[in-house]
Chain A
């Protein structure tokens, strides 16, 4: 059963990508991609549920369906579905690219496929390759619009991230090396094997390897100070791609850090590993806060908010324990929903007003009433205001920090979240309530494809803010048991 679902989840986007390459008409590819995203979502939901009785291993142990991976796959599937709906409306607005639209959808499906692959890889080396593939595919999505800015963003993205994850490869090699002292020179580098050998590994070597992996995959996650590619790539790519980058890709890279963290726990350097992750998390919040307060690009604002939220997730996993892990996983889901909503709104506003600069966007509410309301609600949600999901997840992460003797990080986090709350919403105040320079209040038209996914994102976000389903909590508790083997 899980095998069939897994195949469906991976084959659908692959088939869609191939079909897009063959069809090459302007409108069929968007439907193919949408169909693939529906299949992926329909497969990911039961997979997440079934993963509880796993883990299931396939193809000579190279592929695994386990609880943490399946959860990230679910978050990816949600963003992929929402972004595919949104892409139909948004990409039609880019009339000048109509000729190349098939290549966009082919890349988009492939991008989703590569992210999904990262979640099921059971071998540390193959996981690295999957992460590398996400970079290669998404580079061309970032540069899709071919403007000078997009090319610049794409170039910075591929150079910085390639350099970063080459460090992760070095770390991976060192992990293999430290495992070879225990398991012999030739062994399968599965997560299980590494964990099995971890207790007998040399702590110094594991420490060096972990730090390399943390910096490497941290680059991909967008943790400060390795985040520099992120605002450029997120702001210059088409809005559906920004949503995928932020809501799906970053989680996929975080999964690697979490898996290695588990190994460090068993090998007895968990405290160092956690302290490093917490430090990067706090720094990401700090950098996010600084750049959010003084920001003039509307999508860059969202991008720095991603840096901030990845910092929060890093803090959750860094604190660890039931609350930390449950909070971080819940935060991933909520952030995926919320950041998709924010990027969709930003894309609509950008297209409506014809600018990316916050100072030129005025009177959003009068000119785009429905989408304006949704976007404002999303802005309140993303800053962690109740009654939305992120409020709950941040609260749980804060509690985890207090329990786990990371008090200082908790206090800094609270302070920075408040700064971000004020800074972020201040930009929205300007865009919504400041006087317009010109007095025309023409209503802007948006297609339903552009607004519907915002509803689909906001509704569950509100629901998850009011009600944390009991089943979900049990699921998180089970994941936390899986991830806390060596961590009391």
Chain B
């Protein structure tokens, strides 16, 4: 287990990067402008790529450098570009329909981080890994998951939902890099490609949704009930 025996510098770098990506998740949660979501998502992907490289360096996993490069290319450039194109085509700039004000969403987000911390603490206690970066890594992974779900629940613009799903993915990717850096590289690459296909499918679907259902807001999607 890499995270259990780290030198202090490495563990500070890992913690810093993990916390920065968690903060960027909060930026996504607290913003009303779709462009800001996108920038925050792109930035978060870059942070995760740096984290991958750092883990590769300190943990002695050279293949993580490739993963870092792929992460920058896919998550940091290609996906934001695809979503930016979707945004431009749909002319959507602002999340108009929101159940929760961004400020309230931030509070709920903070609560979910507390919940994630409690769960991670219990797990860390049970695994005998308290006091290592593991607890932090697990907390960040779980919090980003919960914040992603929160975004899915309180945002209604199709693009926000796609970004919410991508946030879920980013959280998991971050956690996986830290907790199981030895995960076979094949799986990681397949998951990256899979993500690309997911976004491409979403792109096509958003287009179809706009032209055939007349709206990209899920609040308007209420023909099918019962």
Given the complex, which residues of B lie within 8 Å of A147, measured CB to CB? 212
A152 touches B221 (CB 8 A): yes
Interface SS, A side: helix
In the complex, whether B176 has a CB less than 8 A from a CB of chain A is yes
B205 touches A143 (CB 8 A): yes
In the complex, whether B82 has a CB less than 8 A from a CB of chain A is no
Q: Which of B18-26, B28-36, B67-75, B122-130 contacts A (4 or more CB under 8 A)?
A: B122-130
Chain B residue nearest to A208 in the complex (CB): B123
Given the complex, which residues of B lie within 8 Å of A177, measured CB to CB? 179-180
A-contact 0/1 string along B102-133, CB 8 Å cutoff: 00000000000000000100110011000000
In the complex, whether B187 has a CB less than 8 A from a CB of chain A is yes
**Is the interface on chain B under 10, 10 to 19, 20 to 34, or 35 or more residues?**
35 or more
A129 touches B190 (CB 8 A): yes
In the complex, whether A486 has a CB less than 8 A from a CB of chain B is no
A-contact 0/1 string along B165-179, CB 8 Å cutoff: 100110010011001
Among B175, B179, B223, chain A packs the most CB atoms within 10 A around the CB of B223
Determine how close the nearest CB of chain B comes to the CB of A71; give it in whole angstroms: 26
Give CA–CA (A177, B127) in the complex, Å. Answer: 11
> Which of A132, A180, A189 is the one whose CB lies under 8 Å from B198?
A132
Give CA–CA (A184, B182) in the complex, Å. Answer: 9
Given the complex, which residues of A lie within 8 Å of B183, measured CB to CB? 125, 173, 176
Determine how close the nearest CB of chain A comes to the CB of B18; give it in whole angstroms: 15
Chain B residue nearest to A147 in the complex (CB): B212
Determine how close the nearest CB of chain A comes to the CB of B9; give it in whole angstroms: 21
B123 touches A205 (CB 8 A): yes
Chain B residue nearest to A148 in the complex (CB): B213
Interface residues of A in 143-200 (CB under 8 A from B): 143, 146-156, 158-159, 162-163, 166-167, 169-170, 173, 176-177, 180-181, 184-189
Chain A residue nearest to B162 in the complex (CB): A159
Give CA–CA (A109, B188) in the complex, Å. Answer: 27
In the complex, whether A202 has a CB less than 8 A from a CB of chain B is yes
B161 touches A205 (CB 8 A): no
> Which of B152, B194, B208, B214 is the one whose CB lies under 8 Å from A159?
B152
**A-B contacts at CB below 8 angstroms, number:** 133
B126 touches A132 (CB 8 A): no
A-contact 0/1 string along B200-223, CB 8 Å cutoff: 011011001100111000100101
Give CA–CA (A181, B4) in the complex, Å. Answer: 11
Give CA–CA (A106, B198) in the complex, Å. Answer: 19
In the complex, whether A126 has a CB less than 8 A from a CB of chain B is yes
Given the complex, which residues of A lie within 8 Å of B152, measured CB to CB? 159, 163
Given the complex, which residues of A lie within 8 Å of B180, measured CB to CB? 173, 176-177, 180, 185
In the complex, whether B191 has a CB less than 8 A from a CB of chain A is yes
> Which of A136, A150, A208 is the one whose CB lies under 8 Å from B197?
A136
B226 touches A291 (CB 8 A): yes
Given the complex, which residues of B lie within 8 Å of A220, measured CB to CB? none
B224 touches A232 (CB 8 A): yes
Interface residues of A in 278-332 (CB under 8 A from B): 291, 294-297, 300
Given the complex, which residues of B lie within 8 Å of A334, measured CB to CB? none
> Which of B184, B205, B212, B218 is the one whose CB lies under 8 Å from A139?
B205
B158 touches A202 (CB 8 A): no
Chain A residue nearest to B128 in the complex (CB): A202
Given the complex, which residues of B lie within 8 Å of A166, measured CB to CB? 145, 148, 165, 168-169, 172
Chain B residue nearest to A159 in the complex (CB): B161
> Which of A187, A202, A232 is the one whose CB lies under 8 Å from B127?
A202
A202 touches B213 (CB 8 A): no
In the complex, whether A204 has a CB less than 8 A from a CB of chain B is yes
Query: Do A126 and B190 contact each other (CB < 8 Å), given the known contacts A139-B205, A163-B152?
Result: yes
Given the complex, which residues of A lie within 8 Å of B182, measured CB to CB? 180, 184-187
Given the complex, which residues of B lie within 8 Å of A149, measured CB to CB? 223-224
Given the complex, which residues of B lie within 8 Å of A125, measured CB to CB? 183-184, 187, 190-191
> Which of A126, A132, A181 is the one whose CB lies under 8 Å from B187?
A126
A181 touches B122 (CB 8 A): no
In the complex, whether A236 has a CB less than 8 A from a CB of chain B is yes
In the complex, whether B1 has a CB less than 8 A from a CB of chain A is yes
Determine how close the nearest CB of chain A comes to the CB of B25; give it in whole angstroms: 15
In the complex, whether A393 has a CB less than 8 A from a CB of chain B is no
Give CA–CA (A150, B209) in the complex, Å. Answer: 9
Chain A residue nearest to B169 in the complex (CB): A166
Give CA–CA (A236, B205) in the complex, Å. Answer: 15
Determine how close the nearest CB of chain B comes to the CB of A310; give it in whole angstroms: 19
In the complex, whether B2 has a CB less than 8 A from a CB of chain A is yes
In the complex, whether B84 has a CB less than 8 A from a CB of chain A is no
Chain B residue nearest to A204 in the complex (CB): B126
In the complex, whether A267 has a CB less than 8 A from a CB of chain B is no
Given the complex, which residues of B lie within 8 Å of A188, measured CB to CB? 184
Given the complex, which residues of A lie within 8 Å of B226, measured CB to CB? 231, 291, 294-297, 300
Give CA–CA (A173, B176) in the complex, Å. Answer: 7
Given the complex, which residues of A lie within 8 Å of B158, measured CB to CB? 155
Q: Give the 10 A-B CB pairs with smallest separation, nearest first.
A: A185-B182, A186-B182, A125-B187, A204-B126, A151-B213, A166-B168, A232-B224, A148-B213, A152-B221, A151-B212
Given A170-B141, A173-B179, A188-B184, 20 other A-B contacts at CB below 8 A?
A: A129-B190, A129-B191, A133-B197, A148-B213, A150-B212, A152-B223, A153-B224, A155-B218, A156-B224, A159-B165, A159-B218, A162-B165, A163-B165, A166-B145, A177-B179, A202-B126, A204-B126, A205-B127, A231-B226, A235-B224
Show 11 A/B contacts (Cβ-Cβ < 8 Å), sorted by A: A125-B190, A151-B205, A162-B198, A163-B148, A163-B152, A170-B145, A170-B172, A173-B175, A204-B123, A295-B226, A297-B226
